[in-house]
Amino acid sequence: MQKALKVARVMLSVYYAYMVEYRAELVFWVLSGTFPLILMGLWVEAAQGDQFDLSPTDLVRYFLAVFLVRQFTVVWVIWEFEREVVEGRLSPYLLQPVDPAWRHFFSHVSERFARLPFAFLLVGLFLLLYPYAAWWPRLDNLLLGLLAIALAFCLRFLMQYTFALAAFWTERASALEQFWFLLYTFLSGMVAPLSLFPDAVREVVLWTPFPYLIYFPASLLINRPEDVGRGFAAMILWSALFWALNRWLWRRGLRQYSGMGA
């Protein structure tokens, strides 16, 4: 246990130092996540006429929360893992007494901390544009929201890492992620809050993992929590499912792995 903590601490600090070194790159990654902010403009304009259930203020808050949640749950492990397998660079990591998954996991986690200030700066900028929408989450919602964000990140990481394992069998594992990402973009609540979806669609979508990755944490942050118990249960169930699939594929994949190029 103590050893695990030490490994975690060392990896976190190493990757944090690495991430902070490329600050300019980091700023651009933050700025490339502006999709929710673009949709915020559209929805605020649309809601002026009271034809939708939500007021412009709610929508500004919602999309700012979406932007933040998205910033904290960005995952890119599949691109790195794919390259490691195709170029054979995975081999030396297999010799280490730590599962290579943790290396990726901690590099993502430490990047969150490096990204934090820039993301908040951008949110502040938009609050200047819409000063009437400034709000504070209630303390319990805030804590639950942070927990939901952490879980959402873990789930998204698990899903993508599971797809990444397909790299053992095919050279284009990232195509899987591209397709999954489409579903994620349109069903997670990034284009619109789920309450604006047609009822039938919403009922179906709530059975998929997507709304819990964005919509659920975001609605906690804006003090409009919905069915908190179900949300956390769904995230834990989906995580367990992908965890099992992931470990199974990992064991099968290692037998398949030939260490190309190494």
**Residue 31 binds another protein, judged by CB under 8 A:** yes
Write the Ramachandran bin of 92: left for phi over 0, alpha for psi from -120 to 50, otherwise beta.
Answer: alpha
**3-class DSSP state of 172:** coil
- Give the residue, chosen from 12, 14, 41, 146, that forms a contact with another protein under the rule CB under 8 A: 41
CB of 52 to another protein, least distance (A): 6
CB of 51 to another protein, least distance (A): 5
Q: Which is nearer to another protein, 2 or 32 (CB)?
A: 32
- Give the residue, chosen from 28, 113, 120, 169, that forms a contact with another protein under the rule CB under 8 A: 28
CA 51 to chain centre: 31
- Give the residue, chosen from 1, 2, 3, 49, that forms a contact with another protein under the rule CB under 8 A: 49
**3-class DSSP state of 227:** coil
DSSP states of 197-220: S-HHHHHHHTTSSGGGTTHHHHHH
Instruction: Identify whether the C-beta of residue 118 lies closer than 8 Å to the C-beta of residue 74.
Output: no
* 106 Cβ contact list (under 8 Å, min separation 6): 8, 11, 12, 15
Closest C-alpha to 38, from 81, 70, 75, 9: 70
Q: Considering only the stretches 79-87, 106-114, 193-201, 222-230, report the one whose residues sit in contact with another protein under the rule CB under 8 A.
A: 193-201
- Within residues 127-186, the interface with another protein by CB under 8 A covers 129, 172, 175, 178-179, 182-183, 185-186
What are the distances in angstroms from CA 121 to CA 61, 111, 118, 124? 15, 16, 5, 5
What is the H or E stretch that residue 163 is in?
A: helix 139-164
Burial class (CB within 10 angstroms; exposed 0-12, middle 13-18, buried 19+) of 207: exposed
Q: Considering only the stretches 11-19, 154-162, 190-198, 224-232, report the one whose residues sit in contact with another protein under the rule CB under 8 A.
A: 190-198
x/- site string to another protein, residues 50 to 89, per CB under 8 A?
-xx-------------------------------------
x/- site string to another protein, residues 88 to 107, per CB under 8 A?
--------------------
DSSP label at 130? S
Q: Considering only the stretches 4-12, 39-47, 63-71, 138-146, report the one whose residues sit in contact with another protein under the rule CB under 8 A.
A: 39-47
**Residue 196 binds another protein, judged by CB under 8 A:** yes
Q: Which residues bind another protein (CB under 8 A)?
A: 22, 24-25, 28-29, 31-35, 38, 41-42, 44-46, 49, 51-52, 129, 172, 175, 178-179, 182-183, 185-186, 191-192, 196-198
